[in-house]
């Protein structure tokens, strides 16, 4: 189900809410520069998601899809939008799943309301400014001219590559990391950084030789973990 919410800031938050009331909620963040369609790329596993009774909420980010671009907005504003949508849907506690460049948005949400987070799941997740120093993503996005003159994408890249990760020391919920050892876009050094800033890494699921697509190849594992049913396995 797609919806929209008028915010106190007079902006409009566009979101999806897939699942039933009473199912375990997941807040989903797609990768860098993605709109609400990013979640639907995972719905090949919809029968498994529904069997696990997982409800996914995703809020469209600044300047993508049908959401107008405002260059003054940052991570805090995105968190405001997500929390407003969750309040409108009467969602209390929730798991968080983020892919690639969506991870810093997830971290900002977890830092704001750590007590509401059931678990955190980061797949091939960019660790903030490390992205500008480590991996082929820096070559793809360092020059704004390569971004097809998309101001929203330039803005989100600059946030990703310059804003430090927030203090996550108050987050007690278990975190799960998913990585391909052959990922040259967001290489395993990012997983090392996430392990440093997260106090409770329950599992690092490393997939030998896999690239920047573990979120799709191993989505069923992410769903199991988000449902609280995954077997712990640390590498």
Across the 235 residues of the chain, what is the mean pLDDT of every consecutive 10-residue run?
A: 82 94 97 94 96 98 94 96 97 97 97 98 92 61 59 90 94 96 91 95 94 92 93 51
Side-chain half-sphere of 11: how many Cα atoms within 13 Å?
23
Provide the pLDDT for residue 134: 60
Report all structural domains of the chain as residue ranges with CATH numbers, in order of start.
Answer: 2-226 (3.40.50.1820)
Could you tell me which of 19, 15, 139, 20 has the C-alpha nearest to residue 83?
15
CB atoms within 10 A of CB 188: 18
pLDDT of residue 234: 46
pLDDT digits (tens, 9 = 90+) for 133-164: 665 555 555 555 555 578 999 899 889 988 99
**Contact assessment for residue 115 and residue 85, using Cβ atoms and an 8 Å cutoff:** no
Assign 162 to helix, strand or coil.
helix
- 132, 142 in Cβ contact below 8 A? yes
**Which pLDDT value is given to residue 128?**
85
């Amino acid at each position: 189900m797609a919806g929209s919410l008028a915010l106190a800031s007079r902006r409009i938050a566009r979101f999806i809410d897939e699942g039933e009331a009473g199912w375990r909620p997941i807040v989903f963040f797609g990768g860098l520069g993605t709109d609400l369609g990013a979640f639907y790329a995972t719905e090949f596993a919809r029968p498994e998601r529904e069997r696990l009774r997982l409800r996914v909420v995703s809020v469209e980010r600044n300047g993508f899809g049908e959401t107008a671009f405002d260059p003054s907005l940052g991570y805090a504003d995105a968190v405001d939008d997500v929390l407003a949508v969750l309040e409108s849907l009467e969602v209390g506690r929730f798991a968080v799943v983020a892919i690639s460049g969506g991870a810093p948005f997830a971290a900002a949400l977890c830092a704001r309301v750590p007590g509401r987070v059931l678990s955190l799941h980061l797949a091939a997740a960019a660790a903030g400014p490390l992205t500008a120093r480590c991996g082929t993503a820096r070559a793809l996005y360092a020059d704004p001219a390569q971004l097809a003159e998309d101001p929203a994408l330039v803005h989100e890249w600059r946030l990703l590559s310059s804003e430090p990760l927030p203090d996550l020391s108050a987050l007690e919920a278990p975190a799960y990391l998913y990585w391909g050892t052959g990922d040259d876009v967001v290489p395993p050094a990012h997983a090392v950084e996430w392990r440093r800033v997260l106090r409770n890494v329950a599992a690092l699921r490393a997939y030998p030789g896999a690239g920047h697509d573990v979120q799709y190849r191993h989505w069923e594992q992410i769903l199991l973990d988000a449902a609280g049913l995954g077997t712990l396995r640390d590498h």
